[in-house]
Amino acid sequence: MAWYNTLGKDSDTVISTRVRLARNINGYPFASRLDVAKANEIIEKVSVPLEASGFRKIHFSDLSPVMATSYVERHYVSPEFATKEAPHALFLQETAGLAVMVCEEDHLRIQSILPGLALEDAYLNASRTEKRLDEDFDFAYSDTLGYLTHCPTNLGTGMRASVMMFLPALTRGGYMDSLANQLSKLGFTMRGLFGEGSGSAGCIYQISNQITLGITEEDTLQ
């Protein structure tokens, strides 16, 4: 039995699980270099298979700051995505716990977010959406570097698997800095409630893999 099944899905330590896949489409520059026309072109092209699969499209440029922040609070988008000025959109299938950010740091950020400890289920969920998009798009890929991503730290699988954990006793005991240091030696990173650069509100932390290059998706889940 894998270690991540020993806690059980009803564990009150692990609040939720997320698996995120970063993908970019060949023929377009990375999102930071996209002009308005190309960004809108990607959004419209991606709309066809995603909306046909039951996703709802949300143009973030049309949202008020309050509404945009509400999606951050539900962990469907990053704080950077919510405040971005260039064209960007979210495709959401809430009943399945699926969200696709289009034109964030990468062209596509495919995410599966499930309650409790559910690494395998979240991975399968995200993979099904990725495979559907792979039928219509040629993803940027290198035989030596794997999936090509905007940030070099995501090269390889382009996958981040994370668990949101509630750790009040360790926080109150002052152990979190030591724990973060130990985790980094094991190839993990610990972030705050809303990801990189955010604080640990409510003693809640996000723990995820650091390594994506030279390792398989299955190894990451283990």
Distance CA 157, CA 217 (A): 7
Give the pLDDT band (50/70/90) at residue 4: very low
Q: Examine the pLDDT at 19 and tell me if it is beyond 70.
A: yes
Domain residues of the chain, as ranges? Answer: 3-221
Q: Examine the pLDDT at 10 and tell me if it is beyond 80.
A: no
Q: What is the pLDDT of residue 194?
A: 65
Q: What is the pLDDT of residue 54?
A: 96
Does the domain formed by 3-221 have CATH 3.30.590.10?
A: yes
Cβ(172)–Cβ(150) below 8 Å: no
> How far separated are the first and last CA of the chain, in Å rounded?
10
Task: Quick: pLDDT tens for 179-208.
Answer: 999 999 999 999 877 656 555 667 899 999
Q: What is the pLDDT of residue 6?
A: 42
Q: What does pTM read for this prediction?
A: 0.88
Give the pLDDT band (50/70/90) at residue 5: very low
Amino acid at site 56: R
Q: Beta strands of 12-120 (E only): which ranges?
A: 14-23, 56-59, 89-93, 98-102, 108-115
Amino acid at site 18: R
Q: Mean pLDDT throughout 109-130? A: 96
Cβ(165)–Cβ(189) below 8 Å: no
DSSP 139: B
Higher pLDDT, 6 or 139: 139
Q: Mean pLDDT throughout 59-70? A: 91
Structural Rg of the chain based on CA atoms: 17
Burial 31-51 (b: 16+ CB within 10 A, else e): beebeeebbbebbeebeebbe
Q: Examine the pLDDT at 172 and tell me if it is beyond 70.
A: yes
